[in-house]
Chains A and B, each alone.
Chain A
């Protein structure tokens, strides 16, 4: 009482005033320190863990680069922070990961993931309810068929990939190899992804292109031996083969058997689907000689547009080369950053609106194939293109579309 009595009310006034001044001075700094959280939900464990690891590398590299370049300028240079959740290998584990994410991080701004379309379908069920803007590389048509408002696909959908990729292959064979392709053998496994790709081609797609299907074999993974399949290729002598295997061991068995039967090393031009066929693991298992000339349809890959940053990015990644999963996730972070800059806010609604209104030919568009980076009313990619990657000299290079390609295509001779 004596203290109060001596200094009276003036001491309290001074203390309160000082507190206001100090708090006021600290407030902008605290706001700037508050990081902009973005999420990656990817398979970090289980059989798809390698793909998730490659995505994480891409996301971490992008966050490092964005922060090193001053963070998000529209928000006073706030830094970005990555939150990673393990999607596992099942729909249930992916859904749980998304639920954990939205429950534990209410300040999340946006996210990306989750590699496999089935996992992405589950994750986006949760993120949609949380109104969390979501960017995905997964290309199943269903992802943007459900009328969801908070998801965009950065690559063309599966049905479009199938119907667009084969005319590209025929055009390439004619331009580069001087050969008109008239017959094809289709080898595909019985998984949903393979059959979704092959079905429109089998049911009239190839016929419209003037290509006769001479072998159409579906096998159930795992294959124990590929002799009978490859013997059919030997007997039918098609101009080229469309091979879709979602399983690495099955792909290895077929490619090894083709070599054994004298159809390998480009003797039977082979177009495949799935980035596991252009992975370092595939090179280690099969060897560069056997893979030479193999073409793989890829929704995204490293392009000429990234030529300046690619050597340094690759070095920092610790990977022998950067493929679809890493470069797409790297781009996704820049895409989200761009949306936040244009929205001038870290709130879900304005960020999602900025994503939907995106129409760029530079900046984040450089990390995806195609002329334009835009999205339609369903969140599907507009201006995307189908990429074809080819093994040349033990390395996979983008060879098509030619304007983005890092190497000239080689059409293997029969």
Chain B
């Protein structure tokens, strides 16, 4: 059954919601796309990295009481700034102790075998993180009471006061951080020597090694960056979304759909993929029952696989 014709206000509100939700999805997809694009690693623990960022925000804002000491918004800025180096280090340590050790044990190992071992390892990390959080934080959902989460900026696009568009402050802040973090990553990858080394390690690991680039170190930095970006997304999402130890699973499908839509291996493409998924998810409610909102993500996913498996910005040829 199709919904009745929506009003202009509803259409504008839905587009705004889609852009805001999509931007946050974009950052999550960028982090996953970075890890896959450079390391070719299928990371099943990505949703749990997001959860870790959410609980980190809860610790900084509520447990340590920073929100009460310096105010909600400054505390949030501190949480984001602390999350980047901290989770970068955790990511590097995880790669150093676990993931880096399951690479090519022998040169005879096929690409498929390598993916299988990585997949099992990240699945194991995911289970440990989720159940560890359950032991430490319990199963009761946590919700951060910040001024951003329940307040909105109200836009009056035609100046007549009849059509109003509400923009949730928490969502706007999360979208702004997502765009800034993606832009920062783009500049890092394209304008710095570190970025060139990372891209070289991704494009042709063997040639990069011949050129004196430490591919393992590049992967380690990439994994740390990916973890840090996901945790930043988690900190921002925590300002408006209640969470519990298994919250990651709610976002993993969206992340993969966004990365596939943007093109596996394309980091900027991943951002656009996430943004489009968010828009499709919200706009679908204008024509379909809300109950099918989640299904549209799978529809987009299937359509990409059928029509253009390389995605919007992906490469249609195998890497060298």
Contacts and interface: CB of A to CB of B under 8 A. Distances in A.
A35 to B, nearest CB: 32
A402 B315 CA distance: 69
Interface stretch (B7-15, B70-78, B106-114, B202-210): B7-15
B242 A228 contact: no
Interface string A306-349: 00000000000000000000000000000000000000000000
A187 to B, nearest CB: 9
A287 to B, nearest CB: 6
B282 A227 contact: yes
Contacts of B10: 228, 231-232, 235
A224 B174 CA distance: 14
A220 B293 contact: yes
B183 to A, nearest CB: 24
A228 B149 contact: no
B193 interface: no
Interface in A353-408: none
Interface in B269-320: 281-282, 285-286, 289-291, 293-294
Interface stretch (A15-23, A136-144, A245-253): A245-253
Interface of A: prevailing SS: helix
B176 to A, nearest CB: 17
B160 interface: no
B242 A50 contact: no
Interface residues of B, number: 38
B216 interface: no
B240 A256 contact: yes
Given A249-B242, A253-B241, A261-B152, A285 B293 contact: no
A286 B143 contact: yes
Contact of B293 (A47, A219, A248, A257): A219
A220 B14 CA distance: 18
Interface string B120-151: 00000000000000000011111101000111
Nearest to A248: B141
A261 B165 CA distance: 9
Given A219-B293, A228-B282, A260 B9 contact: no
Interface of B: 7, 9-10, 13-14, 16-17, 21, 138-143, 145, 149-152, 166, 168, 171, 240-244, 250, 254, 281-282, 285-286, 289-291, 293-294
Which 4 residue pairs spanning A and B have beta carbons closest together? A285-B143, A249-B242, A227-B17, A228-B285
12 contacts: A217-B290, A219-B291, A220-B293, A220-B294, A224-B293, A225-B21, A227-B282, A228-B282, A229-B290, A235-B10, A249-B242, A285-B145
